[in-house]
Structure 1
């Protein structure tokens, strides 16, 4: 028997078929989004989008299903009748307004010209002013829910984006019946049933099983007319591993599957990676590395600590409290550097050596010893998610001289992401969450041995990489097998599935003591800059961003 995992990332969707007998990945198909990330102009009108907007087209998500699943079945050489389950994971909080029938508003001709009718991607940061208001009002009122999220919520979350629509496009708010996480939208499309998952509700919508949503009074304090906070969200959420339903007949025919395929409730791309890595107990910090990094771990008892993005009961694994922290720019920061700051002769040299540009830069960067570049960077190209929770922070490179080379800057950027992770590890450890080792997954973990060794050396912890480059899709497939259940050839629990199907260890990177001692010195400088520019003199970077937004806005008038 087989299960399908579908991992919806920022730029593409991955469809993986997992053999439930032996854990073999039978086939993987990557389907790029045809419209990509929409952050420049609205496709229908050419209207320039304001700064910090990031939209997507939900048709791209359906295209991942209709192209990816049949292609994966053909590539694997298996019949649709042999598939028993499907699991979905998605970037979060990625949300869209839909009708009562689950049709995206932007799919309707009368709404395609309104930018608020489109999918708002996780990294849509234009609602930061609303996130700031939520934090200020919650703190002033002494709202207890805020401590579950390290004292701050982010513009990336559900209610900042919903209130942005409510205030800026009330006509869109009135027209949509639901404002729904994209992972739940796909489950609705597959099954014909709206079944919302508890994971995104807990981490991104300020909901908990014990307390529900924050009070109506709190939301009225945010906006006196916002009197029904659950109106577009609902109040019923289902635990991870729950069977949302089965494929509806027309979708089953379209995908080459059967109506006996169980569909698991939706999940988050990072969170499915914990069982996908074979992690089922405390002590390991899982790093899901892509355009950004999510850091995930679990404990038996709840510990509320500052600087995280959330702690949710059963949020990652049943029976445990799951913690999330993260860095908002990693792979996309490296991509920015390659696209905007690498001279043409480096590309020519890479081509001559039969390498891609990242491989070429990594070879050059590996020639530097720790500390040899004389550079240190603050990894805030897309704001700071943890510890500071400030989307208005921007990146910094310190120590540049006329002798600084592109490969030196590239290495400094690599190191900056490791320093950011060390800051997160230290925060966990200082508040009683033990971290003994790191587990890295995602394409970067396989493609950049240099970066993995830097993480081990900077953090002083071993880093384990598993023999699968598609851990999120693999984890999603495991949840699909749990939704199918043992009666269909699946599993009772996600822990059982993880124990049976975790991929073997590919490599463990051990910290080098000499390298760590040098990195300790560089990290001390990083931390001083971090605290100054992110806390005591945060006004400096905020002012630079405000000037840019003011000038950009005046030029568009």
Structure 2
């Protein structure tokens, strides 16, 4: 009987799980869709019990019921950085405030920059204060929900909350902590003396561990809810984008993951710490590694908006129509800032724009313009990586958006760089299962679990077309930003 590893990841719009053997054989997978709660413009939330724990438990029960073999170890990952305030018994006090797509704490970002110094924050934490940061959201909670703040004793991210429900342990991994800017000192790789206690005040901060370390063992109560045997080791886990990168072998210096999902997320692996204000600098998944990361506020979300607007039941019809539209979308240009923009603009009041419309344009042109807009956004971010001294040497594409090939081809054509594609698109849950295997001491290699099987090569003949389109894309934002900001102020 071979070892069996369970990986479950809680994403923005679905939770996914996988059972994997030590040789990389995928025994079973399961998925549960869930909704993102958007109670106000600029707010994004999840109910930790109804979504995170209920999804995890249901998927764990489904997968463990498909085999008579016991699970050897459990890996968890989830969206982040997020802020879930709980009481001293880890009971949620409000829905979790999500990562950079939640832009409510703009005032608090400005205040902390002024108090601590923007340069000092970037140098100590490794990243600037943006809508991605946890510290400003803690201050927002204190200001706007004082009763919740008074009752808050602990704070969780998705993976640490799952660890708590499974094991009773209050543990957060170093990587996730490094995104709790400015509470973590990425130079010392520990909570930031002075800053953490000043911002978190009476809140107990979790014990720190590395993602592949054992956080605890499954309790009898959790075993009854999940079907996972009591006593099974559970990893500390980490943020889902990093387990997604791990799932496709992005772990060596120069490797860069492009994650095609609801948002586009980009991670570069480094062997030295780098600080670049347009990007997020973090510690890596493993000791001795570091990352630079970037994230667009929307990507697949814009594509889905076009699908819903045109009444298409799925993306196949839109993709077929977009293939009939030439590169440049017959003179259409979109800004994909439908939920503001994260890196490298950090402009929560940026807004989407479709320029060049005529009565001759079709749904295929509009859909192609949306895909090209996300490709231009990727190019903008990758230029920031190069300027930071971390030029991408190898691009690996992953995520649901790689299906069908049109989106990845447009991105390669805009970048004029190839992208590697791996055998499995299971994603972050596979990376979580791999962490579980490492936790259990298994001799495994992710490149054996999920080898590269294909590449998306750029068309050199399109370089000039997309260079021109990219220049217009960059110009369009600057030329229309004042109008976008004025309109944003009217959206409540």
Unaligned runs of 5+ in 2: none
Cα deviations across residues 139-158 of structure 1 (Å, max 9, x unaligned)? xx364232477863222321
Name which one, 1 or 2, has greater alpha-carbon Rg. 1
CA drift of 1:269 comes to 0.7
Write the mapping of 1:273-288 to structure 2, written as runs, cut at 5 A: 273-288=244-259
Separation in 1, partners of 2:465, 2:40 = 43
Q: 1:151 to 1:539 in 2, by over 3 A?
A: farther
Separation in 2, partners of 1:320, 1:162 = 28
Cα deviations across residues 167-190 of structure 1 (Å, max 9, x unaligned)? 011111111211221221110100
Q: Is the 8 A contact 1:29 1:71 kept in 2?
A: yes
Correspondence for 1:121: 98
Q: Is the 8 A contact 1:148 1:312 kept in 2?
A: no
Separation in 1, partners of 2:464, 2:286 = 36
| Alignment match of 2:415 (pick from 450, 459, 470) | 459
Correspondence for 2:187: 210
Correspondence for 1:515: 462
Corresponding residue SS for 1:270: helix
CA drift of 1:5 comes to 0.7
Write the mapping of 1:458-537 to structure 2, written as runs, cut at 5 A: 458-485=414-441, 490-491=442-443, 497-501=445-449, 503-533=450-480
Separation in 2, partners of 1:96, 1:393 = 27
Say how many residue pairs are matched: 486
CA drift of 1:442 comes to 0.9
Corresponding residue SS for 2:202: coil
Q: Is the 8 A contact 1:147 1:305 kept in 2?
A: no
CA drift of 1:131 comes to 2.3
Separation in 1, partners of 2:349, 2:486 = 9
Separation in 1, partners of 2:409, 2:124 = 33
Q: Is the 8 A contact 1:328 1:383 kept in 2?
A: yes
CA drift of 1:136 comes to 4.2
Corresponding residue SS for 1:440: strand
Separation in 1, partners of 2:199, 2:241 = 30
Correspondence for 2:218: 247
Q: Which moved more, 1:415-424 or 1:377-386?
A: 377-386
Separation in 2, partners of 1:410, 1:437 = 28
Superposition TM-score, scaled by structure 2 size = 0.93
CA drift of 1:287 comes to 1.1
Write the mapping of 1:330-349 to structure 2, written as runs, cut at 5 A: 330-339=299-308, 341-342=309-310, 344=311, 347=312
Q: What RMSD, in angstroms, separates the aligned Cα atoms of the two structures?
A: 2.1
Correspondence for 2:487: 544
Q: Is the 8 A contact 2:125 2:185 kept in 1?
A: no
Q: Is the 8 A contact 2:214 2:233 kept in 1?
A: yes
Corresponding residue SS for 2:491: helix
Cα deviations across residues 23-49 of structure 1 (Å, max 9, x unaligned)? 11111111223xx2222xxxxxxxxx4
Correspondence for 2:264: 293
Q: 1:94 to 1:301 in 2, by over 3 A?
A: closer
Unaligned runs of 5+ in 1: 40-48, 106-116, 220-225, 348-355, 550-557
Separation in 2, partners of 1:336, 1:121 = 21
Correspondence for 1:50: 40
Write the mapping of 1:234-383 to structure 2, written as runs, cut at 5 A: 234=205, 236-308=207-279, 310-313=280-283, 315-339=284-308, 341-342=309-310, 344=311, 347=312, 356-383=313-340
Separation in 1, partners of 2:199, 2:418 = 48
CA drift of 1:516 comes to 2.0
Stretches of 4+ aligned residues off by more than 4 angstroms: 147-151, 211-215
Q: 1:417 to 1:95 in 2, by over 3 A?
A: same
Separation in 2, partners of 1:149, 1:238 = 18
Q: Is the 8 A contact 2:122 2:277 kept in 1?
A: no
Correspondence for 1:74: 65
| Alignment match of 1:11 (pick from 10, 13, 20) | 13
Correspondence for 1:353: none
